[in-house]
């Protein structure tokens, strides 16, 4: 397997390259409209063959950004983007669109064929208050001739003067809309694709809200006669493991292990909540899901203390 290389666009983004293929670009200082709750994101994301498996700023939800860590309900603040769900009124545009702001320097590393990046962020409300700080790291690995993996690790610390409750539209009263957390939006051609779980496969309406250790999405590409698999594994140490999943396939392709789907998580003053995930990107289909999940579990095992 080839070595991974890193291209750092100073004060903007990092691109990780596999031979002649840019596997992903991580934009850590985005140029995003305030109403879209500015946040770092990965896009474009590609397979080792070079097929794009992410979508940026789709017209139906312009705040969707490839793969991003986004939270729609942080007390009464919105770090997802767009309007906020208000029970009895549906979605209302409120003055509460916060920003995840990069601060300090970006740290880059290479070890045993993998590459990593890490940085600090401040979660700032629209009113200008810093309510959380975050330490985030991403580590990319080549795991086979047809697949690569990304470990996403975030540590959120409550720095305000009261406990913070993180929830979802479902915890605020909207049924089966528990999105929030690590969210992937797939290409338009993936609409109608197949969601794969440890025990079955099906459409988004069938599996949404179910609890699983992992879930995958198989979609087909335009232009090339090929399919790709995007799969996420939840770390067993994550709060509310195994998570309920927010997933779609009919309206659009989306995958989200949603730890706040139907139960809020409270972070006490001064304390930290940690979440880790393995994301697998493969040239393949649902027959490859179980083996890829096993590989990702192994990659996810080491935890820095």
List, for residues 215-261, the tens digit of each pLDDT value: 999 999 999 999 999 999 999 999 999 999 999 999 999 999 999 99
List, for residues 156-203, the tens digit of each pLDDT value: 999 999 999 999 999 999 999 999 999 999 999 999 999 999 988 887
Question: Given this model, what pLDDT does residue 302 score?
Answer: 62
Tell me, letter by letter, the H, E, C secondary structure of 159-198: CCCCCEEEECCCCCCCCCCCCCEEEEECCHHHCCCEEECC
- Cβ atoms of 166 and 240 within 8 Å: the answer is no
Kindly report the average pLDDT of the chain as a whole number: 96
pLDDT at 42 over 70: yes
Confidence of residue 303 (pLDDT cuts 50, 70, 90): low
Burial 79-100 (b: 16+ CB within 10 A, else e): bbbbbbbeeeeeeeeeebbbbb
The mean per-residue pLDDT over the stretch 284-301 comes to 96
Q: What share of the chain is helix, strand, coil (3-state, %, to 5)?
A: 10, 50, 40
Which two tokens mark 178? Answer: 């528990």
Confidence of residue 305 (pLDDT cuts 50, 70, 90): very low
Q: What percent of the chain has pLDDT over 70?
A: 98
């Amino acid at each position: 397997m080839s070595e991974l290389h890193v291209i750092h666009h100073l004060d903007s983004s990092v691109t990780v390259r596999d031979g002649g293929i840019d596997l992903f670009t991580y934009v850590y200082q985005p140029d995003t409209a305030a109403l879209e709750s500015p946040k770092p994101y990965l896009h474009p994301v590609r397979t080792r063959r070079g097929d794009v498996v992410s979508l940026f700023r789709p017209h139906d939800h312009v705040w969707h950004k490839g793969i991003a860590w986004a939270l729609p309900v942080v007390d009464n603040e919105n770090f997802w983007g767009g309007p906020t769900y208000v029970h009895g009124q549906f979605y209302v545009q409120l003055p509460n669109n916060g920003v995840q702001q990069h601060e300090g320097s970006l740290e880059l590393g290479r070890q045993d064929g993998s590459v990593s990046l890490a940085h600090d962020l401040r979660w700032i409300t629209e009113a200008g208050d810093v309510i959380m700080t975050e330490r985030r790291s991403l580590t990319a690995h080549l795991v086979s001739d047809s697949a690569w993996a990304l470990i996403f690790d975030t540590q959120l610390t409550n720095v305000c003067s009261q406990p913070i409750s993180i929830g979802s539209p479902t915890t605020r009263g909207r049924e089966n809309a528990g999105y929030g957390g690590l969210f992937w939006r797939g290409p338009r051609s993936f609409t109608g694709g197949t969601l794969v779980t440890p025990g079955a496969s099906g459409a988004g309406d069938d599996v949404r809200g179910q609890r699983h250790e992992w879930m995958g999405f198989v979609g087909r590409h335009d232009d090339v006669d090929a399919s790709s698999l995007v799969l996420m594994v939840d770390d067993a140490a994550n709060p509310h493991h195994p998570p309920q999943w927010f997933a779609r396939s009919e309206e659009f392709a989306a995958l989200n292990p949603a730890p706040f789907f139907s139960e809020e998580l409270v972070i006490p003053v001064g304390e930290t909540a940690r979440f880790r995930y393995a994301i697998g990107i493969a040239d393949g289909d649902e027959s490859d899901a179980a083996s890829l999940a096993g590989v990702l579990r192994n990659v996810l095992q080491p935890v820095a203390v």
